[in-house]
Amino acid sequence: MSREFSGKISDRLSRLSIELPSWGFADTGTRFGKYLQDAAALTLEDKLDDAAEVHRLTGACPSVAVHVLWDLPEGGATALAAAARARGLRIGSINPNVFQDQCYRHGSVANEDAAVRRRAVDHMLDSVAVARAVGSRTLALWFADGTSYPGQGSFVRRKRWFTEALAEVHAALDRDMRMLVEYKPFEPAFYHTDIADWGMAAAFARHAGPKAKVLVDTGHHLPGQNIEHIVAFLADEGMLGGFHFNDRHYADDDLTTGSIDPYRVFRIFVAIAEAERGAGRDLDIEYMVDQSHNEKPKIEAMIQTVTTVQELFAKALLVDLDRLDAARAANDIVAAEECLKSAFATDVRGALAAWRESRGLPRDPLAAHRASGYVARAAAARLPRKKASGGSYA
Ligand code: PSV
Ligand code: MN
């Protein structure tokens, strides 16, 4: 591998934006406890500061996903957009929250209670208004709806409620907006989830209308599932709307992307590279991170994820797709597989460092972050506030 990427690879990488999640910078926890970090964000402003730090170092993260109930400041959407703008960022996907309030104990749009279903739809309609006000085109929908016991709910009735709700929200979208439908096989429900897999998400999206697409959260698959096949299939159907990046070993583990299985992420990106070659243009999909770290320092984990995504994306762009097709046509399985393996084995870190440098960015964003003193400054500013706000900080 030469020390420089070809113009084509370098240009495609420059167009790869990765959205950061506001919830990735705040203190979060497991089901068993919340573990606090001195430098973790407390306020929306803190979260945006942290996201801006990742963007400053990587140049690849101009937008931040927000969760409506967690991130709307007193000044509402206008203040939200202004706070992002002041830091050189913009607000990206708007994530309604129809899972946190007590009324959603037994579901949101699939709740047996019509008043709760209404409230959930109204919240999503309000979220469309927030998207409009902040200039975001993306409503990202995830539902915790499901049941934990056989017999607890009617699959079909719930399916119809979902269909109606998504169609109503779709009808409220502006012409240039889109809604992404995320799936998850289980959790928090343990018997069935109303949008359990990509096929259900695609069916719901199709019923809702042309602005609805599928959101693939890489952590939301059963063990052994072939995610790159799903990605290729959805892309070919014009139904691939975006990603939530993370990695997993057992379930929805929220680990940094590529930490467990970088070859899988690479294969997903090869599927995208093939789809883009077929389309003759970049796919219109959102690349978003969905991770919330309790053990790793949060900003470091985000930088690691962004640089790993760039590395694996670059490796996927190195696959010689013409050679791959020729090998396939000749039923030369070994040569086909070697096309992937040799690209994956290429060390692109030097070329990426040179590419960053050419764009005025640090060659090694993680090292630059560690040397910057940002975390110590953030901790010094935030710790007193954290202590003053009480809680169990010790
Ligand atoms: C649910 O597990 C999920 O993946 C959804 O995308 C949520 O928006 C996100 O995590 C944060 O709760
Ligand atoms: Mn997700």
Contacts of 393 (CB under 8 A, 6+ apart): 36, 386, 387
CA of residue 237 to ligand 2 center, whole Å: 21
Among all bound ligands, the one having the nearest atom to the CA of 140 is: 1
Scanning 346-391, the segments in alpha helix (DSSP H) are 349-358, 365-372, 374-388
Mean pLDDT per 10-residue run, the chain (394 residues)? 82 98 93 90 97 98 96 94 98 97 98 98 98 98 98 98 98 98 97 98 98 98 97 98 97 96 98 98 98 96 98 98 98 98 98 97 98 98 89 52
Q: Give the integer Cα–Cα distance in Å for 81 and 234.
A: 32
Note the pLDDT of residue 1. Answer: 55
The total of other beta-carbon atoms located within 10 Å of residue 239's CB is 18
Which of 3.40.1440.10, 3.40.50.300, 3.30.1300.10, 3.20.20.150 is the CATH number of 2-387? 3.20.20.150
Do 62 and 91 touch, CB atoms closer than 8 A? no
- Regarding the beta carbon of 217 and ligand 1, being less than 6 Å apart is answered yes
Note the pLDDT of residue 30. Answer: 83
> Domain limits of the chain?
2-387
Distances (CA, A) of 330 to 57, 320, 321, 334: 45, 16, 14, 11
Note the pLDDT of residue 394. Answer: 46
Note the pLDDT of residue 389. Answer: 83
* Extended beta strands in the chain, E state: 18-21, 29-30, 33-34, 63-67, 90-95, 138-141, 146-147, 178-182, 192-193, 212-217, 240-245, 286-289
Q: Give the integer Cα–Cα distance in Å for 233 and 178.
A: 20
Model confidence, pTM? 0.97
Among all bound ligands, the one having the nearest atom to the CA of 243 is: 2
Note the pLDDT of residue 391. Answer: 54
Residue nearest to atom 8 of ligand 1 (CA): 142
Residue 192, SS3? Answer: strand
